[in-house]
Structure 1
Amino acid sequence: MCPATNRRAPRRKPMRPLRLELEGFTSFRERTLVSFEDTDLFVLTGATGSGKSSLIDAMVFALYGSVPRYDNRNLVAPVVSQGMVQGRVRLDFEVGGKEYTAVRVVRRSSSGGGSTKEAALEERANGGASRTLARTADEVTAQVENEVIGLGLDHFTKCVVLPQGEFATFLRAKPRQRQELLVRLLGLGLYERLRQRANQLHREHESVAGTLQQRLEVDLGGATAQAVAGAETRVSELRALRERIREAVPRLVELAEAAREAKGRLDAVARFVKLLGEVRPPEGVEALAEELGRAERARQGATEALEKAVAAREAASDARDALPEKSRLMAVQQRRKSLSDLETKLAQLTAKLEWAEAAAADARDVEVAASRDLESARESLDALRLEHGAADIARHLREGEECPVCLQVVTRLPDRGAPRGLEGADAARRDAESAFRRARAEREQQSLGHGKLKTLFDERTKSIVDLRKSLEGVPSPEDIAAQLVAIEEVDAALQRARQAETGARTDHRLARGALESLEARRRSAWDDFRDRRDTVAELGPPSFEHDDLSASWMVLCSWAEQSVGEQNAAREAAASERDAVAAEDAVIRSKLGDLCLSRGLDLTPGDDPATVCAEALGEARTGLRLLQGQVEARKEVEKSLEQRRHKSFVAKTLGNHLSATGFGRWMQNRILEWLVAGGSARLKELSSGHYSLDLDSRNEFLVIDHRNADERRSARTLSGGETFLASLALALSLAEQVAGLAARGGARLEALFLDEGFGALDPETLDVVATSIDQLGTERMVGLVTHVSELANRIPVQYRVKKVGNASSVERVEI
């Protein structure tokens, strides 16, 4: 019996694809549109590797964002065509009379990975306006699984892409192989994982239970009702003790206050006696007045001496101001000396200038004579060269030819020899040129020397004129000498007056400093007196004479001696009162100490009974609350321990039931019965009532041949066509069972794809396959995926997939 017979089957809405559009998806690089409208039976045909299965992958990817053939569901980068940045797929499909559109766009990253950057799911009801149901990849997947189709990825792929090829192997497999195929087809490995998880939970719960038991024994072992009662008794006793102590506290407070007052008076007396003992005049008070008198007289004498020294220096300054500046007189003397020196040098320069003028004139005469000699030597040389040229021309003349000079025909050759002395004339010319150059150089040197002397003569002449002009109207040399002597004498007197003034000022500053120092000592002495008097101001010291420091000290010291006796009497009275208060306080505290000791509180000297009792009561209350909390915690831990042990028992029991020899084998047998029951009904329909399926006692497949009196024989005896029908029936049964077992009432899938190879089938079997598929196509949309042309040509609608280079395309052909 199938599961649908054991529970009420949910109402399921039909679902079928309408249009598929893909671009940049696997081998479909260009935009490709595949329409499934008005199509119930079709075939996806093409060579191996052309991209047939990629069309099914595209539909599944549009719905769930994953490709079932990839091991990793999150792997999306391979769907993008090689060399392209993004891939896009769109699926229009119908569910329960409503149309939906699912779109996903995958972009490749620079690192080689990929992610779904765009995704959307829209709904159109009865041809109306579209409504967006999801805008992200996760939202689209959730809507498809939970609302629109109601199937997860695994259930959907098992219901759409039928594994009838695996069921053909399933029919003939041995029991162990059949068991492995069944686990793989139906995902029965889940129960093994459940068993492992149950065992793991059993161990975890046992571990936690052990920890809880240890806490009960170690941490919460003392959390009992008896312990709480003892803690409550302790709190009550300490509360009673606290009340007894509170009754004695007021008298203790009065005694403490009296003791503090007595101690305060004793401390004050001791302090006053100490301060009065420190009242005594400092040394040197009487001598300070005499020193101040002497210092004042010394300052007055220094002031008078300074005034006299200032007057003498001012008189000397006035006498110096009446005389001219010494530098101006000395400048006049310097100009007179400079004038005398220049006049002497000018006389010497005049003689040199006259000699230079004569030498320059001689050099000019020598140059003129050398120039005439050079001109004469050049003329002689030119004449000899001319004669030598005429002789040379005559030597080359020929009779009857023209003369190159006169251009006349030579009738007779001249008798003319070459002149002599040409070399001597040339040497004379060179000697004359050398002599001329020497004479010119000498003349230029003499002229230069003469010019320099003339410039220097003019400059000195001008300086003499200027000096003479500046000395006009100045005193005579004798007057200037007399004035310089007078200036020297006045300057010496002024220097002596200034030195005397400096000495007087130093003496005056020292005398004033000594007086100020003594006055500071006097002010400090008065400050000391006032400070000392202020220390005993509380005792009312007598007034003092503000002008006589020594007398003031005598009055204050006399009063201090008298006050010491009064303070000693006050100290004896305060000490007596202190002793009486201490005795009464000791009696009361002794009684309180005995009470505390009776309650287990051992007081040490200096402890306050109220404080010790309050701290003990606080600790007792804290201990009681902690104990009460531990009792509650113990109850919670005991409850948790019981729950953990129960869960551990349940997990252990579940793990035992889910073992391979228990629930696993039972579940496989039950599922095998469900598959056979559903597959038998399907096989009977596909074979027109000729065959059905059953199991023998060893769970081996049997075929019931209704045409031969319901003969029962092994499934291994089936022909190729019969095997195909039986495996297809089991695959359809699996698809229906998977959809029925979905968590929500899944949509009824009206589209099935048979993506298995048919290359090993003979022509007769192909006829059976084609007939069965044609019959199945009357119930729902059926698509075959095959490269076998013999089978493809039997299907009226073909989608021919071709691949040229690395790009695939699809063409719809109806035959």
Structure 2
Amino acid sequence: MRLHRLTITAFGPFGGTQTVDFDELSAAGLFLLHGPTGAGKTSVLDAVCYALYGSVPGARQGGGQGVTLRSDHAAPATRTEVALELTVAGRRLEITRQPPWERPKKRGTGTTLDKAQTWLREYDSTAGAWKDLSRSHQEIGEEITQLLGMSREQFCQVVLLPQGDFARFLRADAEARGKLLGRLFDTRRFADVEKRLAERRRATEARVRDGDAELLADAHRMQQAAGDAMELPELAPGEPGLAEAVLGAAAVARSTAREQLTVAERTLTAAESAQAAADRALDDVRELARLQGRHAQARERAARLEEGAEAYREAQARMERSRKAEAVAPALDLRESAEAEHRRAAAAETRARALLPESFADAGVAGLATAARRTAEELGGLDSARRAEWRLAELLDERTGLDRQERADADVLQEAEAWLDGWEETRTALQDRVDSAQRAAALAEQLAERREPARQRLKAARQRDRLAEDTDQAADRVREARDRTLRAKQHWLDLKEQRLTGIAAELAANLATGEPCAVCGATEHPAPARKVAGHVDREAEEDALAAYQRADEQRAEDERRLGVAREALAAATAEAGDTPTDRLAQEAAELEQRYTRARDGAAGLHFAQERLRQAGHEHEQRVAARQEAAVRTAARVGRRERLERERAALEEELDLARGTLDSVAARAAQLERRAALLTDAADTARAAADTAQRLKDADARLADAAFRAGFDTPQDAAAALLDHETHRELQRRLDAWQHEEAAVRAVLAEADTTAAAGRHPADVVSAQQAADEAALRLRGAASAHDAARRRCAELDRLSARATASVRRLAPLREEYDRAAPYGPASPPAHRPTTNAGCGWSRTCSRPGWNRSPRRRPVRLRRMSSGRYTLVHSDDRTGRGRSGLGLHVVDAWTGRERDTATLSGGETFFASLALALGLADVVTDEAGGVRLDTLFIDEGFGSLDDQTLDEVLDVLDSLRERDRSVGIVSHVADLRRRIHAQLEVVKGRSGSVLRQRGT
């Protein structure tokens, strides 16, 4: 990864836009980032981290919310932005990030929140242009993390080397070192492995104990099934030999249960034989008792049949008379039907005659029919009158419609005449409105052309006034800068003159006895010059020169800004002229008011034209309506006369047809009712005569049928008939008596029943008692047999289950035996693994740290001029852990001592060597990503000149791997040793960056 360019806007202490060209800084291999305390050196590194990961390192991560990242010196309308151009994995990318910010509203007062924005672009070398890749925060974060191969924390460890963390690492105890390394290198995986082994041991142990507990539970169940005849092993879950003891006890219990099952089977066989003999004897006694009871019941039934013989003969006689009367039943039914029909016909005739006038009360059937026919003929003669009446109603409706149309046409004519009388005045007023709006539109068009030039001139005048004030202020700053430059130059020349005056004392300070003088070459120095009070040394002179140079640079910058301001003022004056701004504003306001009035007047042009067009269209419609109404009025006169003549003829015809009634319809309805009544009366009279004749014929046929059946009268035959229910009940009684008589004779004729009746009465109670005793003995034997069989089956099932559990637990117990040594009860022996290039060891009970690069001791020896080397120590901490101890070997004394005894400067270069080495480890773990740019923050102030040279040589050697190293420090000596510099200058309006190449 190589950084090319960083652009910062309104970020941290930088109120404006600042740009860093890393390509120019990295050309020398080493470059210095310096500036006073609080100027913003670390903010430059924060901007790099924020561009890559969207957040800043360490305790400053709160700035990731976009609140503290924004510069307090930035203008309200300037948005915070960081843009970084870099090359990673052979791809040249540009990342731009804008955190959320509260900006002023474009309309009104107050602020509004803009969301965070992120852009990712890639340079296409073939096309020679940048192409957009993504604007998604999540996609860009995943892409950068994948390309760099490290998280934000690892990036801060590798690229922004945390010197303070490694200095604390050297002075900390083993436990604190473990925590610090865990934070820097994410050693959670080693702790997870250790935790996983312990969890696996505990889980395996728990599963083994659970399996043994389940096996013991099955053993207790087998003991209960065996009736406490089984002895359980006195072993706890997890103890060896438990499975074998349980399986052995189960085998003994199964053998005993099978012997008990054999005895129970034989006892059950004997009880079944005795119970079968008792059941046969009981069946024989029960059969004898049944036959004896059957014979006695047959004798009782025969006596009851003899008692009911007379009633049987009477029922037979009644059944015979009913069969004879059934021949007369059809004639009886016919006579009843004829009588009912005659009654209904006579009643209908009475009702029909009651509705007729009195003149028809005694008329016969022929007279009624003749009157009905005459009435129908008169009704048919009214059809023509009906049509005439319908036509007369149509004529009256048509005349009413003509009256309604006449009134409507009169209204139309009146309204049209009234509207047309004022047409000329209306047309003239509308045309005047159209002409006025057209004149206003033309004026508005002319004024619109003059508005924009007036606005531009007013804007230029206001800018002219503002630039005049800026030019005056810039001129004041130039005069002040020139005065400061002259004073600084005079101060530097004075100090230089004083130093030259006392240069002999400065040269004498370097003289030593026996060493030649740098000026005269003499080896004796009898009277070297002494420094007097107020002596000016080289450092004071250089500080004065640097102050003069800064003042001169500031003067040049102020003069450049003054020139820019004067050029802008001249351009604004040329555009605005010499007219005062107030007068220009007044002219622009008057022009705007005239334009507004003209535009408002022109806005009604379309409406006025539309109203004029609508009025003309309405005028045409009114004229046409008046003409059409006149034509319709003339046509209605002739039509009204024709309707009047036809109405008179129809009314004369209807007067003859209606008679005394109001309408032909009423006369027709009267005739229809009379014809219907006469027809109904004739029909009912005819039906009554027919039913009387049929009743007379039915009486004759009934008398003849009763005589032939042997009855004296038809009434005797009707009395002999039985209804269906009575006939069925009587027949059922006769059949039951006959069936009972046949059954009794059959029982009394049986040989077995007769023979049983001659024997002694059967003793069923004694036989039942013997059978119950035999059944009780059988149930006891069967219960004992079932219990023995269930015991064997349960023992077999539990034994098979225990055997399966033992087989299932076998591999689990083997796994537990392998994992048990890692438990607290039997910890494994520590096996330290050493490496010639590492500073600590790796054990089985602590996360491993065998990852230190081999060049780290080389760097430390070179920084310390071959004096110091780091080695690891296996000293245990208070909790018995080892492997993270560090000692330093002093080649001057040959002794080994703790790193906490190193001085401040020694601790710095030792921690720097450690950081560089461990940075290589993290780089390798991140996938071998090439890191071409590194930053080292502070710590150089604790080194002497020689050690500082050696440390810088080591850092300069990183160029062998084509790396560039940025040193963040405010040590003044580094500014003379490192020529490529990036200076942070702070001021009241925010910090700025100054870059100087090689």
Fold conserved between structures, TM > 0.5: no
Q: TM-score, normalised by structure 2?
A: 0.35
Q: TM-score, normalised by structure 1?
A: 0.42
Give the structure with higher Rg (CA): 1
